[in-house]
């Protein structure tokens, strides 16, 4: 089906082909486990190809998009593999978004089909653009209507199709991430991007055979989800998919113990709560690799992790959606010696730290880190101008301002995109500012991140208003327009926003003001 068909002796490297190989070599080995139920490699390969046949029967073809609006479970993996088996692109959607946010994304990617959990079907139906999607496949019990197809019946009606030849250069995923303009951007990730990401994980986590049991708590709609388990797909190991919900450290430790988990990832705030469990030393845990990322870890967190899991390899990972995602790795032996660093660049990417004219800055000086290599996206869906800007000078511009020491370790000192990291989720200030500015009482607004013990950072809105405005009133206005985790946690009235001579808001002054007021409250 690919226009650049490979010779008969060639072997395409992508997760569908790997699933088929594991189905032949280790058919009864668990590929996925979820809530105590096992999906073997044979079952995963067969069911994915059944779903692919069913979608093809509905007209889904190479180059189309198949959206998913689901929680974390094996049906998500089957759906992605099925779409990719047809040469279609999988588009994971965040169920945390408001209907209007999802509406923009669906209008942008125009999927031919969507796979949705029954409990999330009301959210999908609240999205105006969703009514134009031709095929809606529902996982779980729901009211059967003419416009939806039950997932299991959909599969049962079709035999598995043969896996077609799918190019490694074709797009596997469109992962939407917010941009500085407030409009989400669809990052195009190819099969090659993800396969090199798998090699990165193999090297960083030392995953050399199929004996490891990976454990997933990150949501699949975030690149940290699929990006953290691609190595298991490559080597044929098992992945335990933990159900999403409020993070419960005791339940996670119970699951680690019950499932014999060996390779796990959490954000620092989650590690804090895990290490604080009073019975942790009595647990029969098999953890071999404890990894973290998405937010900085304090020395207190790192010491607690070392004390709780003294035999485990501690690995920090850093990157972004556009790089599949890992670009830097910090290993345990360096974590305290290089406290605050995100590690050193991985061998599979090239990086430079440059000034605004693409000149390399001196060691220790601040510049933007730029990348190129086989894990870097080729661009954004439907956004040629943004793609061109991101690759100005032939390198991908990360938006991260960093300094690098003489050993190659990287420290992130600021973000050009004013990104807030709250509980491991990225929140972009411009997106919030655009929506808050729609309130009739708001004359101007600037959003910054405030340090928070629980979440790492939370968004705070500085506003100039024409009439009195409370936080409760603003939150009510934003309900349905912004996801709950993006809601400002404080509203600070100001007579005017500080600006430089060019009219740009000086957020550094707002941060300083906020920090001063925080000290005065202590």
The residues of the chain scoring below 50 in pLDDT are 1-3, 6-10, 179-181, 501-502
Give the pLDDT confidence score for residue 3 in this predicted structure: 44
3-state secondary structure (DSSP) of residue 80:
helix
* Cα(443)–Cα(466) distance, integer angstroms: 6
Q: In sequence order, what E strands does 385-441 have?
A: 396-404, 410-415, 419-422, 425-428
- Domain 193-415 class in CATH: alpha beta
Distance CA 392, CA 388 (A): 6
| Residues of each domain in the chain carrying CATH 3.40.50.980 | 41-166
d(CA 351, CA 370): 5
Distance between CA atoms of 205 and 211, rounded to whole angstroms?
13
How many whole angstroms separate alpha carbon 288 and alpha carbon 214?
Answer: 10
Distance CA 25, CA 85 (A): 20
407 three-class SS: coil
φ/ψ of residue 349, rounded to 5: -125, 150
Q: Nearest-5° angle of CA 462, CA 246, CA 220?
A: 90
List CB contacts of 37: < 8 A, sequence separation 6 or more: none
Query: For the CA atoms of 333, 337, 342, 348, what is the dihedral angle to 10 degrees?
Result: -50
With beta carbons less than 8 A apart as the criterion, state whether 236 and 196 touch.
no
What pLDDT is stored for residue 240 in this prediction? 98
Element of type H or E holding 518: helix 507-521
Task: With beta carbons less than 8 A apart as the criterion, state whether 267 and 424 touch.
Answer: yes
Closest CA to 178 of 422, 366, 412, 348: 422
Is residue 323 within 8 Å of residue 378, measured between CB atoms? no
The answer to whether 409 touches 338, Cβ cutoff 8 Å, is yes
Query: DSSP state, 98?
Result: -
Angle of helix 249-259 versus helix 268-275 axis, rounded to 10: 80
Q: Which residue has the tokens 């979608």?
A: 55
Are the beta carbons of 51 and 86 closer than 8 angstroms? no
CATH 3.40.50.12780 range(s) for the chain read: 193-415
Please confirm whether the linkage preceding 325 is cis (ω < 30° from 0).
Answer: yes
Please give the Cα distance from 430 to 395 (Å, whole number): 24
Parts of the chain belonging to CATH 3.30.300.30:
419-521
What three-state secondary structure class fits 221?
A: coil
pLDDT of residue 8: 46
Closest CA to 152 of 90, 224, 78: 78
Q: What fold does the segment set 41-166 form as a domain?
A: Rossmann fold (3.40.50)
Q: For 89-127, what is each residue's pLDDT tens digit?
A: 999 999 989 999 999 999 999 999 999 999 999 999 999
Nearest residue to 203 (alpha-carbon basis) of 359, 101, 348? 348
Question: Per the structure block, which two tokens stand in for 208?
Answer: 């050399």
Q: 359: which residues sit within 8 A by CB, 6+ positions away? A: none
Q: For domain 419-521, give the CATH superfamily.
A: ANL, C-terminal domain (3.30.300.30)
């Amino acid at each position: 089906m690919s226009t650049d068909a490979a010779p008969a002796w060639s072997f395409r490297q992508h997760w569908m082909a790997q699933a088929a190989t594991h189905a032949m070599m280790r058919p009864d080995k668990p590929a996925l486990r979820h809530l105590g139920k096992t999906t073997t490699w044979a079952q995963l390969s067969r069911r994915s190809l059944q779903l692919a046949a069913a979608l093809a029967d509905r007209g889904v073809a190479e180059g189309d998009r198949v959206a998913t609006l689901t929680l974390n479970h094996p049906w998500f993996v089957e759906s992605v593999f099925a779409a990719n088996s047809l040469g279609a692109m999988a588009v994971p959607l965040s169920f945390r978004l408001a209907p209007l946010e999802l509406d923009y994304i669906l209008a942008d990617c125009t999927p031919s089909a969507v796979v949705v959990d029954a409990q999330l079907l009301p959210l999908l139906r609240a999205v105006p653009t969703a009514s134009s999607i031709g095929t809606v496949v529902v996982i779980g019990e729901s009211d059967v209507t003419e416009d939806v197809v039950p997932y299991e019946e959909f599969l049962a009606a079709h035999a598995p199709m043969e896996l077609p030849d799918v190019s490694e250069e074709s797009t596997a995923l469109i992962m939407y991430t917010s941009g500085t303009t407030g409009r989400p951007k669809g990052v195009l990730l190819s099969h090659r991007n993800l396969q090199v990401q798998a090699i990165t994980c193999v090297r960083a986590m030392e995953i050399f055979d199929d004996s490891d049991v990976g454990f997933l708590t990150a949501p699949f709609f975030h690149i940290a989800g699929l990006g953290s388990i691609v190595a298991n797909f490559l080597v044929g190991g098992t992945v335990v998919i933990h159900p999403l919900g409020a993070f419960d450290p005791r339940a996670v430790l119970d699951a680690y113990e019950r499932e014999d988990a060996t390779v796990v990832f959490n954000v620092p705030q989650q590690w804090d709560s895990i290490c604080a469990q009073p019975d942790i030393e009595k647990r029969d845990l098999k953890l071999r690799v404890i990894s973290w990322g998405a937010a900085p870890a304090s020395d207190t967190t790192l010491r607690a992790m070392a004390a709780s899991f003294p035999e485990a390899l501690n690995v920090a990972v850093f990157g972004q959606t556009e790089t599949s995602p890992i670009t830097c790795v910090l290993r345990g032996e360096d974590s305290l010696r290089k406290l605050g660093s995100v590690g050193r660049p991985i061998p599979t990417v090239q990086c430079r730290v440059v000034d605004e004219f693409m000149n390399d800055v001196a060691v220790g000086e601040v510049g933007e880190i730029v990348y190129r290599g086989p894990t870097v996206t080729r661009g954004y869906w439907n956004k040629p101008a943004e793609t061109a800007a991101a690759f100005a000078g032939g390198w991908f511009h990360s938006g991260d301002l960093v300094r690098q020491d003489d050993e190659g370790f990287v420290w992130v000192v600021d973000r050009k995109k004013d990104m807030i990291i709250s509980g491991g989720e990225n929140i972009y200030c411009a997106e919030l500012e655009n929506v808050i500015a729609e309130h009739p009482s708001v004359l101007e607004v600037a959003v910054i991140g405030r340090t928070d013990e629980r979440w790492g950072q939370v968004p705070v809105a500085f506003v100039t208003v024409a009439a009195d405005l409370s936080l409760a009133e603003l939150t009510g206005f934003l309900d349905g327009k912004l996801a709950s985790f993006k809601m400002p946690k404080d509203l600070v009235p100001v007579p005017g926003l500080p600006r430089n001579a060019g009219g740009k808001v000086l957020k550094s002054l707002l941060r300083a003001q906020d920090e001063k007021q925080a000290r005065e409250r202590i």
